[in-house]
């Protein structure tokens, strides 16, 4: 009998025909250091890293994401893992399969699902009794360490310990992500079989409207708005200030103290997040400008209040659950019980999808960033770097070596001779900043890349995947970065490569959302539905094909964007 699964050895059946790197665009040099990469398939990771990444961020990704994914193979019989590459400063994924390509879905839904069965028996308990305590313990480890007071040797040791800790945190990350994916696919399997012809959006209605940290943080901005409008003259200051100057102006405004106190409380609770996943990105605590921009938008929309949606969404969910139960009641008891179980697990999964992201992707990245920033300051003072921000161009090995050299007082150690290397890497970032790079590289993958969907079928209409029902019209605002997204005005259609957590409050300002990547259970899908925001994902090239100011109509159920008038 054919052995379908080889955990010890990647599938030789997945070796595509060698191309030797032929087909690279002429303006780009061959990017690989491993010659075998020339014959491998790569796809850009636009979901998580639409922008160039630095040497440090990429090293951190290898250390956390690639490691976390790799452990799912021996631990959970995952039929694949992903290797990361940094080509031309962009992140590319290379899938390593442990079976024949056509067996991936089957193994995923059998062997891997079985490995997750103990967790899926009670996802809530797995989170509250196992994952969350471990994450909180890691956070406590970072919280109690006094970075400023630590000697260089303690700081170097703390860096090592932090990197070890964060590796385990990212193992948990993929345990959660895979468990969440299984919980959803199991619910969807049964739902779609009982309700033939149903869409994933129909199924999502049964698991929407529960609290999660992302939604909570988004709604908290509207509570800040209530505080601001309750103080005479203060809302006017928020509305009239550039977000970057708003804090200083509020501090100089008599009577604004309650808002400043509320803002401090907001940042203490939700501020250990950045607008992109990067050790180089300032957290909201370090720079609250994004919060003040969102506050300004909220003040500008006195009649708007996304908190109202939540009650309606919960009521709609309960109504949908009751309707579903009427149909399921026709089936034998074992199916009725299993349907309830799978629905409950999917409801928990939707929450964990956001909460794990909040705590792991954001808060623990912020914790490691704090260690790196402290060390960067010392390296700059010691003259190893021009400035602290140059740490972004070191990899983790170089960073650790520098920390040790600093701790040992070896001023002439070559581990502290970093300026030239940093300059070369900074120049590379500069060189590729605006260079177009391919979405895929190498021979075609056996499974078409996700981004291959959503081709434009006719002039003026873009097709994607419906994420959140509703039809809305508005002018396009293309945002490739969070900074660009801050230009969004109420009533505009936000068009982005992808969105991450801190974009959430923009969902209350936008009339609709269009992204190039994402799925029904992606962060943006979950949150767009929470905000009742019409949303379409998987629109390939949306940020290129749609222009600022164009009038479009977004149909979030059909998954279609119609261009009504050019910008």
Partner 1 sequence: MGRALDETSFAAPAVLWLGDPRSTEAGLVGGKAAQLSALAATHPVPEAFCVTTAAYAAYERTGGVPPDVARAAAAAYRELAARSGDGPARGTPVAVRSSAVDEDGAGASFAGQHHTYLNVTGEDAVLAAVAAVWRSPHGEAALGYRRDRGLGDAPAAVAVLVQRLVSCDASSVAFSVDPVASDLGRVVISASWGLGESLMAGDIDPDRWVVDKASLSVIARTVGAKQRMTITDDAGTRQVSTPTFLRQRASLSDEDALAVAGMATGLEARLGHPVDVEFALADDGPVLLQCRPVTTLAAPADASGSPP
HSE-CB at 338 with a 13 A cutoff on CA atoms is 13
Helix, strand, coil share of the chain (percent; to 5): 55, 10, 35
Choice between 193 and 547, CB closer to partner 1: 193
Choice between 19 and 109, CB closer to partner 1: 109
Question: Which one of 192-200, 279-287, 317-325, 393-401 is the stretch in contact with partner 1 (CB under 8 A)?
Answer: 192-200
CB 534 within 8 A of CB 554: yes
Single out the residue of 148, 332, 414, 434 in contact with partner 1 (rule: CB under 8 A).
332
24 interacts with partner 1 by CB under 8 A: no
Choice between 27 and 333, CB closer to partner 1: 333
| CA–CA distances in Å: residue 194 to residues 188, 201, 418, 520 | 10, 15, 62, 19
- Nearest approach in angstroms of CB 336 to partner 1 is 9
Distant-in-sequence, close-in-space partners of 213: CB < 8 Å, separation ≥ 6: 354, 355, 358, 359
Single out the residue of 28, 331, 380, 440 in contact with partner 1 (rule: CB under 8 A).
331
198 interacts with partner 1 by CB under 8 A: no
Distant-in-sequence, close-in-space partners of 224: CB < 8 Å, separation ≥ 6: 259, 262, 263, 266, 291, 295, 298
Task: Give residues 336-355 in contact with partner 1 (rule: CB under 8 A).
Answer: 338
- Nearest approach in angstroms of CB 31 to partner 1 is 44
190 interacts with partner 1 by CB under 8 A: yes
27 interacts with partner 1 by CB under 8 A: no
Question: Which one of 118-126, 187-195, 354-362, 401-409 is the stretch in contact with partner 1 (CB under 8 A)?
Answer: 187-195
Alpha helices in 433-533 (DSSP H): 482-485, 523-530
Single out the residue of 335, 426, 437, 551 in contact with partner 1 (rule: CB under 8 A).
335
- Nearest approach in angstroms of CB 41 to partner 1 is 31
- Nearest approach in angstroms of CB 194 to partner 1 is 6
Determine if residue 417 is left, alpha or beta; phi over 0 gives left, psi from -120 to 50 gives alpha, anything else beta.
beta
Question: Which one of 188-196, 308-316, 422-430, 486-494 is the stretch in contact with partner 1 (CB under 8 A)?
Answer: 188-196
Choice between 189 and 544, CB closer to partner 1: 189
Q: Which of 333, 547, 557, 561 is closest to 461 using CA atoms?
A: 561
How crowded is residue 542: how many other Cβ atoms within 10 Å of its Cβ?
24
- Nearest approach in angstroms of CB 103 to partner 1 is 18
333 interacts with partner 1 by CB under 8 A: yes
Single out the residue of 8, 146, 196, 412 in contact with partner 1 (rule: CB under 8 A).
196
330 interacts with partner 1 by CB under 8 A: yes
Q: Determine the size of the site formed for partner 1 (CB under 8 A).
A: 12
Phi, psi of 440 (to 5 degrees): -130, 155
Distant-in-sequence, close-in-space partners of 120: CB < 8 Å, separation ≥ 6: 113, 179, 182, 183, 186, 345
- Nearest approach in angstroms of CB 341 to partner 1 is 10
12-26: b (≥16 Cβ within 10 Å) or e: eebeeeebebeebee
Task: Give residues 69-88 in contact with partner 1 (rule: CB under 8 A).
Answer: none
Q: Which of 86, 30, 78, 95 is closest to 60 using CA atoms?
A: 86
117 interacts with partner 1 by CB under 8 A: no
Task: Give residues 208-227 in contact with partner 1 (rule: CB under 8 A).
Answer: none
Question: Which one of 58-66, 331-339, 443-451, 557-565 is the stretch in contact with partner 1 (CB under 8 A)?
Answer: 331-339
Q: Which of 51, 56, 61 is closest to 90 using CA atoms?
A: 51
Distant-in-sequence, close-in-space partners of 60: CB < 8 Å, separation ≥ 6: 279, 368, 396
193 interacts with partner 1 by CB under 8 A: yes
Task: Give residues 292-321 in contact with partner 1 (rule: CB under 8 A).
Answer: none
Question: Which one of 189-197, 264-272, 281-289, 550-558 is the stretch in contact with partner 1 (CB under 8 A)?
Answer: 189-197
Single out the residue of 129, 189, 242, 257 in contact with partner 1 (rule: CB under 8 A).
189
Q: Which of 338, 335, 324, 373 is closest to 155 using CA atoms?
A: 373
Choice between 181 and 220, CB closer to partner 1: 181
DSSP structure string for 12-31:
GGG-PPP-TTTT--TTS---
Residue 450 DSSP code: G
CB 530 within 8 A of CB 211: no
Distant-in-sequence, close-in-space partners of 166: CB < 8 Å, separation ≥ 6: 63, 64, 138, 364, 368
Choice between 48 and 344, CB closer to partner 1: 344
194 interacts with partner 1 by CB under 8 A: yes
Choice between 84 and 186, CB closer to partner 1: 186
CB 297 within 8 A of CB 319: no
- Nearest approach in angstroms of CB 196 to partner 1 is 7
Choice between 2 and 333, CB closer to partner 1: 333
Angle at 23 between CA 18 and CA 25, to 5 degrees: 145
- Nearest approach in angstroms of CB 201 to partner 1 is 20
Letters for 137-176 (x = contact with partner 1 by CB under 8 A, - = none) are ----------------------------------------
| CA–CA distances in Å: residue 27 to residues 357, 431, 472 | 37, 12, 40
- Nearest approach in angstroms of CB 335 to partner 1 is 6
Task: Give residues 238-257 in contact with partner 1 (rule: CB under 8 A).
Answer: none
R_g of the chain, CA atoms, integer Å: 24
Q: Using CB under 8 A as the criterion, which residues of the chain lie in contact with partner 1 when the complex forms? A: 189-190, 193-194, 196, 330-335, 338
């Amino acid at each position: 009998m054919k052995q379908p699964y080889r955990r010890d050895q990647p599938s030789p059946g997945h070796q595509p025909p060698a191309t030797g790197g032929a087909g690279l665009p002429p303006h780009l040099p061959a990017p690989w250091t491993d010659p075998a990469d020339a014959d491998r398939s790569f796809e850009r990771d636009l979901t998580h890293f639409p922008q160039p990444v630095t040497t440090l961020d990429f090293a951190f990704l290898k250390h956390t994401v690639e490691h976390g994914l790799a452990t799912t193979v021996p631990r959970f019989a995952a039929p694949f893992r992903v290797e990361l590459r940094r080509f031309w400063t962009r992140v590319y994924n290379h899938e390593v399969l442990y079976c024949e390509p056509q067996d991936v879905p089957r193994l995923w839904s059998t062997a891997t699902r079985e490995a997750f069965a103990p967790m899926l028996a009670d996802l809530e308990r797995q989170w509250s009794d196992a994952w969350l305590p471990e994450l909180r313990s890691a956070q406590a480890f970072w919280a109690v360490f006094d970075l400023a007071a630590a000697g260089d040797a303690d700081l170097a040791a703390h860096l090592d310990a932090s990197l070890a800790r964060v590796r385990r945190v990212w193992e948990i990350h993929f345990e959660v992500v895979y468990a969440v994916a299984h919980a959803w696919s199991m619910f969807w399997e049964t739902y779609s079989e009982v309700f033939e012809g149903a869409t994933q959006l129909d199924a999502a209605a049964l698991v929407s409207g529960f609290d999660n940290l992302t939604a909570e943080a988004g709604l908290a901005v509207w509570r800040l708005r209530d505080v601001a409008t309750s103080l005479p003259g203060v809302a006017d200051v928020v509305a009239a200030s550039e977000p970057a100057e708003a804090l200083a102006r509020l501090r100089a405004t008599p009577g604004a103290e309650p808002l400043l106190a509320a803002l401090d409380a907001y940042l203490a609770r939700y501020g250990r997040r950045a607008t992109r996943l990067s050790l180089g990105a300032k957290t909201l605590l370090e720079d609250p400008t994004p919060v003040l921009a969102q506050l300004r938008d909220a003040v500008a929309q006195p009649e708007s209040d996304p908190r109202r949606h939540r009650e309606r969404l919960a009521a709609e969910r309960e109504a949908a659950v009751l309707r579903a139960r009427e149909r399921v009641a026709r089936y034998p008891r074992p199916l009725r019980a299993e349907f309830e179980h799978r629905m409950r697990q999917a409801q928990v999964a939707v929450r964990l999808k956001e909460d794990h992201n909040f705590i792991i992707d954001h808060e623990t990245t912020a914790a490691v960033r704090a260690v790196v920033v402290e060390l960067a300051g010392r390296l700059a003072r010691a003259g190893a770097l021009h400035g602290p921000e140059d740490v972004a161009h070191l990899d983790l090995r170089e960073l650790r070596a520098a920390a040790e050299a600093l701790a040992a007082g070896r001023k002439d150690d070559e581990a502290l001779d970093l300026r030239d290397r940093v300059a070369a890497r900074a120049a590379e970032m500069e060189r590729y900043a605006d260079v177009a790079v391919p979405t895929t590289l190498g021979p075609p993958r056996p499974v078409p890349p996700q981004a291959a969907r959503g081709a434009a079928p006719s002039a003026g209409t873009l097709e994607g995947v419906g994420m959140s029902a509703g039809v809305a019209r508005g002018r396009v605002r293309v945002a490739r970065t969070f900074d660009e997204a801050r230009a969004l005005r109420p009533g505009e259609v936000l068009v982005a490569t992808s969105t991450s957590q801190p974009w959430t409050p923009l969902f209350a300002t936008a009339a609709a959302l269009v992204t190039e990547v994402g799925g029904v259970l992606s962060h943006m899908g979950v949150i767009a539905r929470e905000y009742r925001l019409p949303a379409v994902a998987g629109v390939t090239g949306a940020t290129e094909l749609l222009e600022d100011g164009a009038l479009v109509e977004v149909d979030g159920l059909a998954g279609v964007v119609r261009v009504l008038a050019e910008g």
